[in-house]
Chain A
């Protein structure tokens, strides 16, 4: 999936160690998509973009957003003699730029951030279309987080407004110095400041043109599958606490297309699933907004969504994938007649492993009361039977405990809790058995565990009744 240093377009430009994000950078160039690089100082963010701009011979503007005034962007306003204004263009103004690089964007004043917004999003300034502007790039240090006080954090680097962060199609984290191999570190030291070779520049330009030529074909071939993939992956990410806006979903689809085109240029047999994974990893604006993103969750979401996107539209695995609650997922799996017992059992076993005491007993009870346990393979059915036996079979507790001990305190809580139940209510023997059984098994460590287990049991029973209705 990754390219070695010798075949890397960026390495040929003298930008070492960026192989991991090269498809993203090339994809952003192919699609003309806004690109935000995040990384510690000195990791080559500005260097990378300056080399690319030089290689492509772009007329570009490099603004330090922390020092920027709006007049620097637009020039000086003068009356045009017709009741309006015209802007006196300066060599630094944005009007004729083909690429704009907003460095240190996270250190920019909020009022100026608002003015940069339409440049990134619409290629407009003061409502006027910047006709020559193609590439919009920005860079920032990782924003400081209130919940992670760290002496090394960039205190001046504020999280971006989420709406501004969402306007960057790609938000890529650049590799750190520690992430480079020894050879790469030496190459960085040796090749720093080299001129961009005409051959490397021509190769980059050719790659961009080839990628653009591939775009319609890639889009046509993958569009339908990618729409499903994006819908699924955003749903799974939402369950994992990583919310994506509808705009982000549309952006992600485009990102996968351009990244796949970029990879095909370098690797004709590139797998679209790997391209989707690479694109997804650099398409989440959360890091720029100071929100943590768990890379493992993103990877797991990608794998599940990509697998499910290849399934038939009515395949039950799709709705199982989208069900975040393990209790519901297990009952839905049991109810999905087309799923083989091994898969049903896998879902149920996962649920039993993840549910707390009380909830897993409620799941086992639901499976035996509905007959759904018959759809399980013997090993998982036995596991459920063991749990259901706790609530359905009379539980004896006979134990000598130290007076004043925590264990006696727990038992007293069990007794008080059971005393509140109507002895004639059908559920009472189940609750009594559950709490007695959990106590005997040592699963109630503190008095509060009694309420926790009972609450989990009740919620499980309600869910089972709701799904059975």
Chain B
């Protein structure tokens, strides 16, 4: 059986396809957690950082661990060679630098939303998740950390 070939629809307006990719500005640094060695609870994260189980000098508890972790992250944030505010990019590229220091990764994750990293923001411990990855755009003025 012969099939009638489809005819071009002459009533459809002609179209032009625009395709363009603009350039990268500054540099990007990727912050992602390595595979966790235990639960990502505040006490678990502190234990991961210190290489030994975390115990409060006082009565141990979740709140104490949270406060200790927040204090650690805040203190570390002030030492980072990152701008005090940086845009979070949705994607990473081939040449992007990856940060491997665990405390730095934890700090950036806890102080970044989906759009922005703010050094002086209260650390959000719920943002420390194993699958999460943050890519910061660093303007040329600040160089790469």
Contacts and interface: CB of A to CB of B under 8 A. Distances in A.
Interface of A: 365, 367-374, 376, 378, 381-382, 384-386, 388-389, 391-404, 408, 411, 426, 428-430, 432-433, 436-437
B55 interface: no
Interface in B117-145: 118-121, 137, 139-142
CB-CB nearest 6 A-B residue pairs: A429-B23, A374-B84, A373-B85, A385-B116, A432-B22, A374-B85
A406 to B, nearest CB: 13
A225 to B, nearest CB: 37
B20 interface: yes
Contacts of B139: 365, 368-369, 392
B19 to A, nearest CB: 5
A428 B142 CA distance: 19
22 contacts: A365-B139, A367-B85, A373-B116, A374-B85, A378-B116, A381-B85, A385-B85, A385-B88, A385-B116, A386-B115, A392-B137, A393-B89, A394-B22, A394-B23, A397-B22, A400-B15, A403-B13, A403-B14, A429-B23, A432-B23, A433-B25, A436-B22
Given A378-B118, A378-B121, A393-B89, A371 B21 contact: no
B22 A398 contact: no
A107 B119 CA distance: 68
Which of B23, B89, B91, B118 has the most A CB atoms < 10 Å from its CB? B23
Contact of A392 (B20, B21, B26, B115): B26
Size class of the B contact interface (CB-based, 8 Å): 35 or more
Given A381-B118, A397-B20, A371 B140 contact: no
B52 to A, nearest CB: 34
Nearest to A373: B85
Interface of B: 13-26, 83-91, 113, 115-116, 118-121, 137, 139-142
Given A389-B115, A394-B24, A432-B22, A371 B83 contact: yes
Contacts of B87: 368, 385, 388-389, 392-393
Contact of A395 (B22, B113, B120, B141): B22
Given A395-B22, A396-B20, A389 B15 contact: no
B21 A396 contact: yes
A389 B20 contact: no
B83 to A, nearest CB: 5
Given A368-B83, A378-B113, A436-B20, A392 B121 contact: no
B24 to A, nearest CB: 5
A382 B120 contact: no
B86 to A, nearest CB: 7
Contacts of B22: 394-397, 429, 432-433, 436-437
Contact of B18 (A373, A381, A393, A401): A401
A401 B115 contact: no
Contacts of A402: 13-16
A398 B19 CA distance: 4
A396 B21 CA distance: 4
Contact of A426 (B18, B118, B140): B140
Nearest to A428: B23
Given A374-B118, A393-B90, A433 B84 contact: no
Contacts of A370: 141
Nearest to A432: B22
A404 B16 CA distance: 9
A72 B59 CA distance: 101
B25 A392 contact: yes
Contacts of A403: 13-16
B116 A382 contact: yes
A399 B18 contact: yes
B20 A408 contact: no
Contacts of A437: 22
Contact of B16 (A401, A428, A432, A433): A401
B82 to A, nearest CB: 10
Contacts of B83: 368, 371, 374
Given A381-B116, A388-B87, A369 B16 contact: no
Given A388-B137, A402-B13, A404-B14, 5 more contacts: A378-B118, A381-B118, A401-B16, A429-B23, A432-B23
A361 to B, nearest CB: 12
A75 B71 CA distance: 91
A381 B88 CA distance: 11
Contacts of B88: 385
B118 A371 contact: no
Nearest to A403: B14
Nearest to B12: A402
A394 B21 CA distance: 7
Contacts of A393: 24-25, 87, 89-91, 137
A374 B17 contact: no
A411 B141 CA distance: 31
A429 B24 contact: yes
B122 to A, nearest CB: 9
Contacts of A389: 87, 89-90, 115, 137
